[in-house]
Amino acid sequence: MHPWLLLALALPSLALDKTHGVPPSLVSKYVPSTRGSHQTWTCLDGSKEITWSAVNDDYCDCRDGSDEPGTSACPNNKFYCRNEGHIGAIIQSSRVNDGLCEQECCDGSDEPSGVCPNTCQEVGVEYRKKTEAERKLRKTGSKIRSSYIAYAHKEQKRLEALVADLAKEIETREKEVERLRDIAERAESLSAAELERKKQSPLYQSLLVHHTALKSLQKEHKKHLEREKALGDILTSLRADYNPNYQDMAVLEAVRGWEALAGLPHINDVRKGDDGEADTTADKPKTEDDVEDEGLWNAAKIEKELDQLLKTDHVTLLLEYDQLVGPASAQSLLLDISAYLPDALLPSYHSFRDSLLSALSVFGIGRGGTFDSSAESNRARVALSDAEHSLKLTQDEQRTANEDLLDLFDPEGFGPEGEWKKLDGMCLSKDTGEYTYEVCLFDEAKQIPNSGGSGFSLGKFSSWNKAAGPGELEYYTRQHYTQGAKCWNGPHRSVELVFTCGTENTLLTVVELEKCEYQITGTTPALCRPLEDEHTKDEL
Amino acid sequence: MRSPGALLLFLLLPAALAFKQSDFKICSQSGFCRRGRALAARAQESSSSWHSPYSIDPPELSPRQPGFTTSVHSSIHPNVKFVLDVMIHEEGIVRVRMDEENGLRKRYNEAAQWALIGEPPLSNDVLWTTKGGKAKAVYGPKKDMELVVDFNPLKITLFRGGKEQVTLNGRGLLHMEHFRTKEDPKLAEHIESEGQSVLQVNPAAWFEGDTQDAFWEETFSTWTDTKPKGPESLSLDITFPNHAHVYGIPQHATNLSLPSTTGPTAKYTDPFRLYNADVFEYLSDSPTSLYGSIPLMHAHSATSTVAVFNALASETWIDIAHVEKGGVETHWISESGILDVFLLPGPTPTDVFTQYAHLTGTAPLPAQWSLGYHQCRWNYVSSDDVRGVQNRFDDEDFPVDVFWLDIEYAEDHKYFMWNKKTFPDPVEMTKDVEAVERKMVVIVDPHLKRSNDYPVYKRASELGVLVKPKSGEGEYEGWCWPGSSSWIDFFHPGSWDFWISLFKTNTIDGQWSWTESTNNIGVWNDMNEPSVFNGPEITMPKDNVHYGGWEHRDVHNINGMLFANHTFQAAEARTDPPRRPFVLTRAFYAGSQRFGAMWTGDNLGTWEHMTIGVKMVLANGVGGMPFAGSDVGGFFGNPEPEMLVRWYVVGAFSPFFRAHAHIDTKRREPYLLEEPYKSLLRDILRLRYSMLPVWYTAFRETSESGVPILRPQYVMFPGDEAGFGIDDQYYIGSSGLLVKPVTQKGIKEVSVYIAEDQVYYDYFTNHAHRTKNRHITLPANLDQIPLLIRGGSIIPTRERPRRSSPLMKHDPFTLRIALDTSGNAHGEVYLDDGETYGYGRGDVVWRVFGAESTKGKGKGIGTVRISSADLAARTQVGAYDPKNEFARSVGDVRVEKLIVLGLGKKPLNVVLDGGRELEWEFASEGGVLVVKDPAVRVVDDWAIVVKLE
């Protein structure tokens, strides 16, 4: 150790107060020790003993910088300005004596005296005004927030009641299912053998194959449609956003090819004037005409009716077929007589017919037991499946209600006080000129072009702010919407929604900081925690 | 969710995005290059029987004239007349010009006019004699220079001390294709169909070949060049018989010492090409042309350096062959223009730099803030984004001087026109940045959106100053960022005042001007090759027409320089008195150094690109354009943290220090990194700022001498052959700092080559290294920078972290005094206000620091006297007065610390000369003396004596 050799020191010293820049908590440490005839001081980290005059002499002696609290001599130091009349502030030492008056130091102590005016009076007034305004905002906001919490409690009650009601309903429905199952099983045991025999018919077998083929075709078709849409989306966004910096004629060719295929005008012409788009809509229908001549289904019909067709219950059909056609002999006057009867007589005729037919069957004259028992079993089966479906719906409803109940006060769901429940599914939007951004809270964020068109999903709600813990205020200041539509040559679109406390639920700004990663800011009363919260926090 | 098919498509994309050779010509796809190489091949085959068909009439010479003009004859085209002009200028620079005389058309002869700062003065110290078919000029202060012109065949050779330095047409490849009329193709067919009966014997075939290869029309990919003037190419061989290394001809992604492109030692198959081009994702090792072209080549040996400046503006291909005898043969093939070659006689690299600087000028002293750190990205998307980035820099205490805006600030890419949706308050935003003494740089590209609601285009169109298509009528229309665009023709004098008027921040005469800007905004000129997305080789068709009727092919390589030139003038003219503007250009040419900085274009975030970026910046310095850098982090891609840290070191030790990133990349501002990387970047930025006095002092020197800022081994030690090929370490100006940035992954230590028997000190540990086998091994973990101080140097730094460089104006200095083996050292610091031209009037502080030792009783040092003296007074800068306005404004600036390296033992005392004793501390293990705050002022003369015995 080689201590500084102290010799006749005649520095044109700044003569700073030794506690200049020292925060109140450390002021007590800035006192000299007496060592023989001179005064010394030890660096706060204890690494070195220096002369008392070396404190705040604008030269960095201590490794921890503690000897220069009031100058910029030591890097990474903190400087404390007292700001009397306002509140004290800490700034980085790189701001001290740099010729600029720091806003944080309204007392001007960051620069040599005389350089910066003391504005603490005005700043203090301004600050108090601002804090008061903020306090008011918080107060109003937190009132709205309490109404959200009240809503959540109401929701809780409603859901609890709902769950109880549903439980009862489920009980009833379960019994009903039991009863119907019993009937159906008995009816089926009678008709099963006969049905099996009929299923062997080549027509039925062929129908099954057709059914499978159609179903496969539909699946493939859907896959292709999806794929075509995906490719269309890629090409559409390529066309809209393609980046000439790639200087790639292949990209240009792709855009032109897509435009020709999709019957779109060249994007360049569209950008020149807006008349281009109108033309294309007029052109479009043409392409779909050709198909219809041979009575074939068009795309709309396929879309609408194919599913229905595929859901056909073939067993029922088989049975209905028998009912309709029967043996040739049954195509009798008796069965068709209703056509000749006046309407007024029909009901009585039907009851007469039914009793007659049952009598005939008893005597083995009619089409016999198979006919009746099959129809019976079929009806029973339909009734059972209807009842089962209703039961499932009710159970689902109950499960959802239960889940909602759990989410309601879950810190990772709608907040510990349920304050976010009110906003569930609420859609907020922001028009930025070219696009409108819409966020349906806890659901999905979208970008919709104002010029028309479908737009893109920017993602579905996935999480709160992961950088903070559930329950902390910070946690609820950010919502993440992820896995939106994929960008051409980029990631899946996503949104970071940044909320601050405000009296309204609204979106303020939208920026795309990185390609396809959006930051949306907004306000909501849900974030306005009551003022008392802060105080308790401060005390901790 | 997308279908798997769509995902597959994305996986395939990256491969499709890389450099596309097919977008750019190789020599065999370029008619005149093919012809040029075929000529060289014929010469090679005929070897000894080959002779140049060109000869000259013996000139009429009086002995004392500086040069002569005479007629040139071509034995293969006896009816075509040429004229040769040979002149000797001051400093022994030789200029050789040759043109066709009274030809059908005129060859482009204005390239030199744009490159040179004026007519170079003629020498009055020459003695000519004519004897035995040769004219010989003897000149030079030692009369050891000789220029010998052989008449038949024509050959021009420069000798020094009887030794051949440069030879023109020594290999007989000189060929100036004369203008001719296009033969009627029907007639030619007719002749052919007649067959043997009219067998045309072409007497020139032995030299020119017997096919008219691409004389008239030429198609590349889908573009056809109509070539209305027909063949007019120029071939010239330039040989350096006694120089084994050649350097220069930027811009290429290759070694500093240029490898062969032909012959048995060839590294590449194609010649080096000079044809300014916007090359997407360029290769990191290739002779292909890039964004700029400087046709200056140094040839170097242990005893001599010479250079050739071939003032050509058209597309030029250069074959290089290192030959067995230890010389270099080069062959320059250009598409059009007169022959206009300058021979720079050296004899040292420093001489060559100065000679070239006297021809084309030096880089002016830049605004000091432009040496700070530049933060760029494509794009900061809004005014609030800019403010947010600035706040993060401040919160994290990272110094930065400049925030940049790329093209997305401009509505529809109409430069100057702010997108008000995202930048509603551009002036307020700029002022928020300037409030911390920072600056903004905003991009202005040369393509103008063809839209009548764009006042810049509208006015340019009205003035008729846009580049014309091949018809010579109307406006050329090409595709660039804004879509359909036109380009200002800066060769048109009518565009000059117009361009200046645009940058005015107040409205004058009701004309539109950039009132939504401030006088401090710097300008970024990108895409000025020019880049044309749908043009041949991503640039303009060569048959486009410029002012004066010149074709684009004639002026292509100069085009980008004129844009930066006029932007520089426009930015300078914003204020009266003018202030130093900052302009960054991507395209450049000889002389571009006068108009600002350049960067190495759109590099990739790879280690290879980091490595080559260092070499390219060195080569640019050789080319006279020292204010250069490569984009830190790489433009494309997402560099890993290790790479980013190393790249910041590369940037911190480049004259121009900017981080930039493509729009598709993740944000990577230095504060975004995790620890420990974040703190490493903070330290690197602070290191750069602490060294700004070194950089600024180095810029002052280069602004006067033209000697580059980054000095490779051959420049520092021209006699040390082992260093001639080294291009991964360099010295910074005359400071004595030697750095070897790490540009590879996972490095733990590096070996630094040392050319001399001198002590070098580690900048950070102060450890004194004495070389073993001429190498010093330094640890180079990620937190270590291989940076050495050459013994004998004094390094002035300012060690206090600040937010921006202007805020350091009153900060004290630290001096690192690195004693050489005999106990001496010296260094300089140059200061001025950093933004005006007051330095020209002597408003400067320019000090020289010295350390002189007296011998002690034994082997060691007795005393060391460290002193400061006024260098400005010694060299008389302008009307220098030591009490000038600037000096007074920094009168409070002191030297706060001296770090003396190499003392050997503990001093007895340290005394301010003629006064008090000073506080000091001595660490015996490293032998480092630290003198605490001597409280001497930087503007004063002072001396401090360290007494050891």
* Domain annotation for chain A: domains and CATH numbers: 1-118 (no CATH), 421-539 (2.70.130.10)
Q: Report which secondary-structure segment, H or E, holds A159.
A: helix A120-199
If one compares B370 and B935, the residue with the highest pLDDT of the two is B370
β-bridge pairing B175-176 and B218-220: unpaired
Q: With pLDDT > 90 as the criterion, what percentage of chain B qualifies? A: 90
The answer to whether residue A280 scores a pLDDT higher than 60 is no
Name every chain A residue with its beta carbon within 8 A of the beta carbon of B663: 243, 515
Q: Would the pLDDT of A350 be above 80?
A: no
Q: What is the pLDDT of residues B777-805, one digit of tens each?
A: 999 999 999 999 999 999 999 999 999 99
pLDDT at A231 (0 to 100):
87
Q: Are strands B597-599 and B628-629 parallel, antiparallel or unpaired?
A: parallel
Contacts of B810 in chain A (CB under 8 A): 97, 99
Q: Of chain A residues 90-109, which have a CB less than 8 A from chain B?
A: 92, 94-95, 97-100
Tens of pLDDT, residue by residue over B399-457, are 999 999 999 999 999 999 999 989 999 999 999 999 999 999 999 999 999 999 999 99
Q: Tell me whether residues A486 and B923 touch, CB distance under 8 A.
A: no
Beta bridge mates, A441: none
pLDDT band at B866, cuts 50/70/90?
very high
Percent of the residues in chain B that have a pLDDT greater than 70, as a whole number: 96
Q: Please list, in sequence order, all residues whose beta carbon lies within 8 angstroms of the beta carbon of residue B51, skipping any fewer than 6 positions away.
A: B153, B172
Mean pLDDT to the nearest integer, A5-18 = 53
In this prediction, residue A380 has a pLDDT band, given cuts at 50, 70 and 90, of confident
Which residue among B422, B480, B483 sits closest to A271, beta carbon to beta carbon?
B483
Examine the pLDDT at A331 and tell me if it is beyond 80. no
Residue of A nearest to B452 (CA): A272
Contacts of A230 in chain B (CB under 8 A): 2-3, 5-6
Average pLDDT value for residue range A55-74: 96
A538 pLDDT above the threshold of 60: no
Q: Rounded mean pLDDT of A333-348?
A: 53
Compare CB distances from B800 to A72, A248, A511 and report the shortest one's residue: A72
Lowest mean pLDDT among A80-94, A362-376, A396-410, A452-466: A362-376
Could you tell me the pLDDT band of residue B878, with boundaries at 50, 70 and 90?
low
Q: Give the pLDDT score at B359.
A: 98
Q: pLDDT band at A239, cuts 50/70/90?
A: confident
> Alpha carbon of B765 to those of A30, A497, B76, B212: distances in Å?
32, 48, 70, 68
**Among residues B285, B348, B290, which one has the least CA distance to residue B711?**
B348
More confident residue, B182 or B243: B243
Give which of B568, B523, B587 is closest to B364, Cα–Cα: B568
Using the predicted structure, report yes or no on whether residue B771 has a pLDDT greater than 90: no
Q: Which amino acid is at A63?
A: R
Residues A7, B686: C-beta atoms closer than 8 Å: no
Q: Is B453 a catalytic residue?
A: no
pLDDT in tens, B502-548: 999 999 889 999 999 999 999 999 999 999 999 999 999 999 999 99
Residue B710 pairs in a beta bridge with B732
* pLDDT in the model for residue A335: 46
Per-residue model confidence (pLDDT) at position A385: 86
User: Chain A: nearest CA to B477, how far in angstroms?
Assistant: 14
Residue of B99, B150, B529, B811 marked active site:
B529
Domains of chain B and CATH, by start: 31-177+231-347 (2.60.40.1760), 372-445+491-540+550-711 (3.20.20.80), 809-949 (2.60.40.1180)
* b/e burial code for range B471-499 (CB count within 10 A of at least 16 → b): eeeebbebbbbbbbbbbbbbbbeebbebb
Which amino acid is it at B900? V
Least confident of A107-111, A482-486, B614-618: A482-486
Q: What is the pLDDT of residues A289-330, one digit of tens each?
A: 444 456 788 888 887 888 888 887 777 777 666 655 554 444
Which residues in chain B touch residue A11, judged by CB atoms under 8 angstroms apart? 933, 935
Best residue in A221, A246, A247, A515 to probe B by mutation, most B CBs within 10 Å? A247
The secondary structure of residue B781, as a DSSP letter, is -
Terminal CA-CA length for chain A: 44
Strands in B335-450 per DSSP E: 339-344, 373-375, 402-405, 439-443, 447-449
Q: What is the rounded average pLDDT for all residues in chain B?
A: 94
8 Å CB contact of B280 and A92: no
Q: What is the number of H-type helices and E-type strands within chain A? A: 12, 13
Residues within 8 A of B (CB atoms), A 480-519 only? 485-486, 489-490, 509, 511-515
Which residue does chain B place closest to A484, by CA atoms?
B1
Q: Give residue A11's pLDDT band: very low, low, confident or very high (50, 70, 90).
A: very low
At B15 the pLDDT is 40
Separation between Cα atoms, residue B534 and residue B527, nearest integer Å: 13
List the end-to-end C-alpha distance of chain B, in Å, as a whole number. Answer: 82
Select from B1, B2, B539, B683 the residue whose CB has the most chain A CBs within 10 Å, as the one to mutate to test that interface.
B2
Q: How many other C-beta atoms are found inside a 10 Å radius of the C-beta of residue B675?
A: 7
Which pLDDT band holds residue A186 (cuts at 50, 70, 90)?
confident
